[in-house]
Amino acid sequence: MSILRRLTGSRPAPQASALQLDGPLAQRHRLRVVGEGPDLLVFSHGLGTDQTIWNPILEGLPDRYRAVLFDLPGAGPLLPDDFDPKAYDTLDRFAEDLLALFAEVGITRCRYVGHSVSGMIGALAAIKAPDLFEQLVFLNASPHYLNDNDYVGGFEPEDIEGLLLRMSGHYEGWVTGFAPLAIASDLPEAIREFTAGLLAMRPDVTIQIARTIFLSDVRSRLGKLKVPTVLIHSHGDIVVPDAVAHYLSRAIKTSRLVWIAARGHLPHLSAPEEIRRVLHVHLS
């Protein structure tokens, strides 16, 4: 029985009551818990999506897991009145938020699955507080998006500035063009879902967070990451080229690289059955 089906039961498991779900940060991040297992598995999404992107993945998780899901700052249209996207000008700020959320909720040990930018957010959090993380799983993550000498990040500085200008000039038009490229497969439903996620965000928020992501550089700190890490990558990713996956596998000494039978930057949206399979195999 999957944890999604078990969620429909009327009596919560004893372990679930140990997590504090009514604090201000839990409310702010719209945190929810799915399942009753003893082992915590935290899911964190990427730009242009929210926690619901993981719903198809939850169906296949073993019963021993309890999934914790939340929205990153800036996700969706329902933002706090005091939300300031300019406060999130580094990935460290996101990592600090993650650790503060863990402290409030009472998460003292977990496995963590992060897509795209949430991979490096999880890496920074695990470097600062390694005892909180038993295992990290990064899905199509990148430590740096700009080409730099022999490092192939995928973009030149003028590419990023041009992208941000297009977002500022005609946000809906940019979304319409970008979503199919990111999905990288002829999957109309997946394209529509990613398009809807991007359009649900405030354009100024998307632009500011995109700037933070694309100009971030975590490479110099990866050697400090000691938590066992699984790097899941798909080919044909317009955002994260294959060379980045190989770089991460060399830079994170505790990592193993897994290539999956899917394309594009959002394989958990375009090929959820493949992500369920690989998580089942590689979650320790």
Task: Kindly name the residue from 29, 265, 268, 270 that is annotated as catalytic.
Answer: 265
Tokens linked to 78: 């329902």
* Residue from 116, 118, 185, 234 carrying the catalytic annotation: 116
> Quick check: is 265 catalytic?
yes
Q: 237 catalytic, yes or no? A: yes
Q: Residue 261 and residue 281: Cα distance in Å, rounded?
A: 14
SS3 250: helix
The answer to whether the beta carbons of residues 180 and 226 sit under 8 Å apart is no
In the chain the first and final C-alpha atoms are separated, in Å, by: 20
Contact 51, 139 (CB under 8 A): no
Tokens of 221: 């700190």
The one-letter amino acid code at 38 reads: P
Tell me how far apart the alpha carbons of residues 263 and 203 are, in angstroms, rounded to a whole number.
Answer: 27
97 catalytic per annotation: no
d(CA 180, CA 174): 11
Residue 25 burial by Cβ neighbours in a 10 Å radius (0-12, 13-18, 19+)? middle
Instruction: Check if the beta carbon of residue 155 is closer than 8 Å to that of residue 244.
Output: no
Q: Which residues are part of the catalytic machinery?
A: 116, 237, 265
